[in-house]
Amino acid sequence: MASAEPQHIVEQYPEHDRDWAQEFSLALMLHDLNDSQSVQELESALAAIRDSGQGAEDLFGDPIEYGEVRAYARLTPQQLANSEMSVNSSVLLIIGLGIGVGLLCAGFGTWVGFRDGWTANSWRYWQLAALCGGTGIALSGHLWWFYRLKGKITRSWALGLAGIAVSIAAVSLIATLGGEQAIPMPNWLAPILGIALAVGAFWLPYKDEPTATRNDAAAFTDPEAWFAESTRLLRGRYGMRGKEAASVMAPAREHWTNSSLAGERTSILEEFGTPSEFAIGLGVNTGKALQRRWLLRRLLPLAIAGIYAQSIVEGLLAADRNGWDIFFAVFLAIFVAVTLYELRPANRADYVESKLAQRRAHARGLEEGRDE
């Protein structure tokens, strides 16, 4: 009953197993199974319980642990790949950034309105330039990272560099036109525009990114295309360097070459699976790449803080400093201290081990899914 709801299947369990089924269903949902997949797992477990005459706890053990095992076996390779990404759609990424920038404008606009008066013209062209430039560069950087994780290296660099170039051009144009001059816009309009941007972001036409599945895997029947895509996934999704990816791909290349010379007619998809499936299997050996990404994600905020540090320190040391100058300086100091504390080797080791454990579970689930 693929159209049934998971809760409907839970209610069909014997009364003494219903709590177990509820926790099992929750575990499946937390590990990203959709309703159809959850229903299939719940029905399968229910059939096994009825056939065996045993209770769910006796037959399957802890529902959370069993749910994790079954979820990884049920997830498709594309779902397993998407779990490496916090956002799996570029449009959703743009929506999130639009909401963030809109709320930022609404918040600062309200503060400036109370501070200077709602009918005053407090905003300057250089502030508009900074907002446009910062937003454009942030969006370009996120799109670069997003498409790199998807293994689309060329597109990531094209969008990233083009976006940064356009942002810089926009900053230069706005600064040249206005500079320090006030924008002819009353302060009451700024929070309204911010709210309009945040709300308007929800109206963007959202849809999932098109993804390659086994149904359209014909694009990778050519061995060279298959190896190229697998290498891109290892470099993008799993963060390997070019030489690292070439090194781990060498045994597969050698095996395929030997098989071809021996006259075997097995296709490369039958031999190794899709590029995404093959990359998931190799993702368990990415400790060094995980360390690099962990370090990058913590040093980047420090670099951004360093950009703003000079102006914040100058404001703090100025003779006419105010409470806001002190607040921002204290906030910056706390942020830097916490970020430096997070750079401890113990934190890095914990992150790498937990991530590798998750990837090992993905690889095991993929193998179990193939065997079923």
Same domain membership, residue 347 and residue 299 = yes
pLDDT of residue 218: 60
Average pLDDT over residues 136-143: 91
pLDDT of residue 300: 86
218 vs 104, more confident? 104
Model pTM? Answer: 0.76
Any idea which of 152-156, 180-184, 203-207, 277-281 has the lowest mean pLDDT?
Answer: 203-207
CA distances from 309 to 296, 302, 325, 334 (A): 20, 10, 12, 12
Same domain membership, residue 371 and residue 293 = yes
Residue 211 has pLDDT above 60, yes or no: no
Tell whether 342 is covered by a domain.
yes
Question: In degrees rounded to 5, what are phi and psi of residue 124?
Answer: -110, 160
Tell whether 62 is covered by a domain.
yes
CA distances from 326 to 35, 104, 302, 317, 321 (A): 51, 21, 20, 9, 8
pLDDT of residue 291: 94
Tell whether 184 is covered by a domain.
no
User: Where do the H-state alpha helices sit in the chain?
Assistant: 6-10, 18-30, 35-52, 56-60, 63-74, 77-82, 90-116, 125-149, 153-177, 189-200, 223-236, 242-261, 268-272, 275-282, 287-317, 323-342, 345-371
Same domain membership, residue 301 and residue 371 = yes
pLDDT of residue 328: 84
Each residue of 234-272: pLDDT tens digit? 999 999 999 999 999 999 999 999 988 888 778 898 889
Domain of residue 253 covers 214-269
Any idea which of 10-14, 153-157, 301-305, 321-325 has the lowest mean pLDDT?
Answer: 321-325
Any idea which of 49-63, 111-125, 196-210, 283-297 has the lowest mean pLDDT?
Answer: 196-210
Same domain membership, residue 297 and residue 243 = no
Tell whether 146 is covered by a domain.
no
User: Within a 10 A sphere around the Cβ of 323, how many other Cβ atoms?
Assistant: 7
Domain boundary (74, 99, 121) is at 74
Each residue of 13-45: pLDDT tens digit? 999 899 999 999 999 998 888 889 999 999 999
CA distances from 80 to 24, 25, 88, 210, 364 (A): 19, 19, 12, 15, 11
Q: How many domains does the chain have?
A: 3
Tell whether 51 is covered by a domain.
yes
Same domain membership, residue 254 and residue 313 = no
Handedness of CA 185, 188, 189, 193 (dihedral sign): positive
When pLDDT is cut at 50, 70 and 90, the band that residue 66 belongs to is very high
Domain boundary (74, 94, 120) is at 74
Tell whether 108 is covered by a domain.
no
When pLDDT is cut at 50, 70 and 90, the band that residue 371 belongs to is low
The Cα–Cα gap between 75 and 365 comes to 8
Domain boundary (74, 106, 124) is at 74
Instruction: Calculate what percentage of the chain has a pLDDT beyond 90.
Output: 47
Which of 171, 166, 145, 172 lies closest to 156 in space, CA to CA? 145
Same domain membership, residue 265 and residue 290 = no
pLDDT of residue 307: 80
* Cα 258–Cα 262–Cα 267 angle in degrees, nearest 5: 75
Same domain membership, residue 295 and residue 259 = no
Same domain membership, residue 364 and residue 295 = yes
Residue 89 has pLDDT above 90, yes or no: no
Tell whether 144 is covered by a domain.
no
| DSSP tag of 210 | P
Same domain membership, residue 66 and residue 21 = yes
pLDDT of residue 214: 47
